[in-house]
Chains A and B, each alone.
Chain A
Amino acid sequence: MAVATAPSSVSLVKKKELGQSYWDLVWYRFKKNRLGVLGAVLLFVLYFSFVVIPEFLAPYALENRSRYVEAPPTPIQFLDEEGRFQAPFVYGLERRVDQVKRLRTWVPDTTKKYPVALFAQGDEYMLLGLIPMNVHLFGLQTSDKDARIFLLGADALGRDYLSRILYGGRLSLMIGLLGQFLTLALGVTLGVISGYYGGPVDMFVQRFTEFLAAFPNIPLFMALSAAIPAFWSPITVYFMLTIILAFLGWGGLARQVRGLVLSLREREYALAAKSFGASDRRIMFRHLLPGTMSHVIVIATLSIPGMILAETALSWLGLGLRPPLTSWGTLLQDAATVRAIRFTPWLLWVVPPILLTILTYNMLGDGLRDALDPYSGRG
Chain B
Amino acid sequence: MSTIPATQLTTAPQDTRRTLIEVRDLKVEFNIRGGVVKAVDGLTLDIKCGQTVGIIGESGCGKSVTARAILRMVPKPGKITGGQILYYRVPRQKKLAGSNEVEVIELTKLDPDGEVIRQIRGGEIAMIFQEPMSSLTPVYTAGTHIHEAVSLHRLLPLKTVGDQMVERITQYRKVTREEAREIAVQMLRRVGIPKPEQRVDSYPHQLSGGQRQRVMIAIALSTEPDMLIADEPTTALDVSIEAQILDIMRELQQTANMAIMFITHNLGVIASMADEIVVMYMGKQVERAKVVDLFYNPKHPYTKALLQSVPKLGPKTGQRLASIEGMVPDPLHLPTGCVFHPRCPAFIAGKCDRHVPNWVQVGDNHWVRCLLYEE
Give me the interface of A with B, judged by CB distance under 8 Å: 14, 17-18, 20-22, 267-269, 271-280, 286-287, 290-291
A17 contacts which of B138, B198, B216, B220 (Cβ < 8 Å)?
B198
A277/B152 in contact, CB under 8 A: yes
A272 nearest in chain B by CB position: B135
Chain B residues whose C-beta falls within 8 Å of the C-beta of A279 in the assembled complex: 113, 118
A277/B113 in contact, CB under 8 A: no
Q: How far is the CA of A275 from the CA of B124 in the complex (A)?
A: 11
- Whether A276 touches B198, Cβ cut-off 8 Å, given contacts A267-B134, A268-B135, A291-B138, is no
B123/A14 in contact, CB under 8 A: no
Most chain A CB atoms below 10 A, which of B120, B135, B216: B135
Most chain B CB atoms below 10 A, which of A22, A273, A278, A287: A273
Q: How far is the CA of A287 from the CA of B135 in the complex (A)?
A: 11
A276 contacts which of B121, B131, B134, B201 (Cβ < 8 Å)?
B121
B137/A269 in contact, CB under 8 A: yes
B73/A290 in contact, CB under 8 A: no
Q: How far is the CA of A17 from the CA of B199 in the complex (A)?
A: 11
Consensus secondary structure, chain A interface: helix
B153 nearest in chain A by CB position: A277
- Whether A277 touches B203, Cβ cut-off 8 Å, given contacts A14-B198, A271-B129, is no
B134/A268 in contact, CB under 8 A: yes
Q: Which of B171-222 contact A (CB under 8 A)?
A: 198, 201-203, 205-206, 216, 219-220
A287/B206 in contact, CB under 8 A: no
B150 nearest in chain A by CB position: A276
A270 nearest in chain B by CB position: B137
Chain B residues whose C-beta falls within 8 Å of the C-beta of A20 in the assembled complex: 202-203, 205-206
Closest 10 CB pairs of A and B: A277-B122, A276-B122, A277-B121, A275-B127, A290-B139, A268-B134, A272-B135, A269-B137, A268-B135, A276-B149
B199 nearest in chain A by CB position: A18
Chain A residues whose C-beta falls within 8 Å of the C-beta of B219 in the assembled complex: 272, 276
Q: How far is the CA of A279 from the CA of B112 in the complex (A)?
A: 11
B120/A18 in contact, CB under 8 A: no
- Whether A22 touches B198, Cβ cut-off 8 Å, given contacts A275-B71, A275-B121, A276-B122, is no
A290 nearest in chain B by CB position: B139
Most chain B CB atoms below 10 A, which of A273, A275, A280, A290: A275
A291/B139 in contact, CB under 8 A: yes
Residue B309 is within 8 A (CB to CB) of chain A in the complex: no
Q: How far is the CA of A279 from the CA of B111 in the complex (A)?
A: 13
